[in-house]
Chains A and B, each alone.
Chain A
Amino acid sequence: MRVTVKLFATLVRFKDGTRVGKAFEIELPEGSNVRNLIDVLNIPMEEAHIVFINNIIEEIQSKLKDGDVVGMFPPVGGG
């Protein structure tokens, strides 16, 4: 299956040639979850602090399906 990934803030450094929020596709085995995706991207688990699937915040064990759009953030905040 293929999922679309967008990386933000300091996570951009884990993907060569990408830019903030620029969507790219990743091929994953069926049944993969968020943790598997984070591993494939070589992102340390504690840095992928907030993960959205289709605009909903999900847990690392949440299952992915073909066509999902995943947004990943390190710890961010402000106000």
Chain B
Amino acid sequence: MAKKILRINMSTLKASYESMPEKWARWAGRGLTSAITCDEVDPLCHPLGPNNKLVIAPGWVTGTPAAPSSGRTSFGGKSPLTGGIKESNAGGLSGQMIAKLGLAAIIVEGTPAQGKWYTLVVSKDGVKFEDAVNLVGKGMYEVDEILWEKYPKTAVIGIGQAGEMKLSNAGISVNDPENKPGRYAGRGGMGAVMGARGVKAMVIVDAGGPGVGIENMDLFKQGRKKLTESIQEHGLTKKGGALNSFGTAVLVNILNEAGGLPTRNFSAGQFEGAIKISGEAIAEVCEKRGGEGTMGHGCHPGCIIKCSNIYPDAEGKALTSCIEYESTWSLGANCGIDNLEFVAQMNRACNDVGVDTIEAGNAIAVAMEGGLLPFGDAEGALKTFDEIRKGTPLGRILGQGVEATAKAFGVSRVPVVKHQSMPAYEPRAVKGIGVTYATTPMGADHTAGYTICPEILGVSGKVDPLSDEGKAEASLTFQAATAFIDSTGYCLFIAFPILDIAKGWEGMAESVAGVTGMNVTGADVVPLGKEILKMERLFNERAGFTAEDDRPPEFMLNEALPPHNVKWTITNSQLDSVFAWVHDGQPA
């Protein structure tokens, strides 16, 4: 059955189904949210104004039987944080359920009457617009619980108080199989875009949906088998491997050892308390406290990597899920905090109030540098989330992210590119990831082109992280492959096995070809990814971005980072070479 586009108009409170137009037919996931954003959103519009849209799309293979770890949902539109195009994707229950309803994408547009908030209930019978007065002002833990009372076992997409206030760091939450918030499309303020549409929550009811059609079952099965085997064979993603045993926070110690763990607002590359906030420490707490605490948790049904965790409180009750590497770093090392209990509580607070953990931790770190509270003040840091929840002036400043906070507190060490703050890898100590931060259309984002693989992890070969050589080319290849994977619906973590094991790479492409009937092989991954990147770069150009926006922050050129005492040394012309092909080498 051909997939449909569901268009929800919040001005008229009407929904309509459209057949997939030819121009978008090739795309899904990130490729589709970016194509729709490029076609329908004015790049110069105000991100919170009536002309922005929230576009939601599952990947090509999402919702198919047992494609491993493929439940991602992409959320796209114009970002209030960066002012450019944004695709932010999340795990959780939503992707598979949207796909099973036969939907390629949901476009939410228009603005309801002032002050009105809605819960959109999307099922096979259409869309119900329910008054969300019972949810307004509530955090996501309560929202998920209330909505499951009426709609059990559904996917819940929602925003916390930060999204209601349309703060630039507001994320979109997706519930996990235990109906807890925590799978976030966090980056870039997409929660504010949802809030600007007057949508507090969306409930996806997949019962009775037509399911996802598969054009060539044999090819799909063949691809799925190869991909599954590669995940099960690779040391990193197999059962009992590092991701499964320690979660993504297993990275804390290796980045610290490499001198690339940003510490105290990017003023050092090593944190003396790193071990205490690492994946190994999280696993130890889960083991000791037991109860609901666990490592090896899957964020959606069908994940076979299971990198997630449920962090228990002292009584063994679930406190938060999941403590990711980026979160334990941003709320920990980057704030000089080595107390895992407080990191866990802040993680929960982020998931409840609805903000991105990376930007939130960075904003606190900048405020610490600006004198609001001392580095290492865990209690004080936790209290800042109450400020956001209550919408105090301080909370609103912090909730706007790093740049606004730096201005408010007179700080010049501002670790952002395109107004979005940097994740947990120091570009001065790991140069390739700095190229990705600088040049991705998304603003500083590690997932956009994860050169950490060869630079630190020894995945897809080994290159020297401190060297400038070949980093521009490597970043582009990773960015293109990522744009493709973000469109498949597969979790990006399949990249680890498929970069090392050739049959996995082929299998990914074959499974996409099997589902869609498109002629896609492993050789098409990078070219198709480049098409997506080109759309996104052109949107950003129309939004006013120039080469000057593809630059790391000034302080990284001036300040030497311990322990290696290195500065940013990659030249601007090397940075400009990454996307020179978009205009055939000519200036934009």
Identify the A interface with B (CB < 8 A): 6, 8-10, 12, 20-21, 46-47, 49-50, 52, 55-57, 71, 73-79
Contact = CB atoms under 8 A, between A and B. Distances in A.
Interface in B447-482: 447, 450, 452-453, 456-459, 462, 464-466
Interface stretch (B165-173, B200-208, B241-249, B520-528): B241-249
Contacts of A49: 235, 458
Would you call the interface of chain A mostly helix, strand, loop, or mixed? loop
A75 B458 contact: yes
Contact of A79 (B242, B253, B492): B492
B33 to A, nearest CB: 20
Nearest to B447: A79
Contact of B253 (A8, A10, A56, A75): A8
A73 B326 CA distance: 19
Given A74-B235, A76-B236, 19 more contacts: A12-B280, A20-B275, A47-B235, A55-B257, A57-B258, A57-B465, A71-B253, A74-B242, A75-B234, A75-B242, A75-B458, A76-B242, A77-B236, A77-B250, A78-B243, A78-B250, A78-B325, A79-B326, A79-B446
Measured as residues with beta carbon below 8 angstroms from the partner, the interface class of chain B is: 35 or more
A78 B464 CA distance: 19
For the complex of A and B, the 5 pairs showing the least CB-CB separation, nearest first, are A78-B248, A75-B235, A20-B280, A75-B236, A71-B257
28 contacts: A8-B253, A9-B242, A9-B246, A9-B280, A10-B242, A20-B253, A20-B275, A20-B278, A21-B274, A21-B278, A21-B280, A47-B235, A49-B235, A50-B254, A50-B457, A52-B258, A55-B563, A56-B466, A57-B458, A71-B253, A73-B254, A73-B257, A75-B459, A76-B251, A76-B457, A77-B243, A77-B457, A79-B493
Interface of B: 234-236, 241-243, 245-251, 253-254, 257-259, 274-275, 278-281, 307, 324-326, 446-447, 450, 452-453, 456-459, 462, 464-466, 492-493, 496, 563-564
B258 A79 contact: no
Contact of B245 (A6, A10, A20): A10
**A9, A46, A75: residue with the most chain B Cβ atoms closer than 10 Å:** A75
A35 to B, nearest CB: 16
B254 A75 contact: no
A21 B493 contact: no
B493 A77 contact: yes
Nearest to B275: A21
A76 B492 contact: no
A74 B250 CA distance: 10
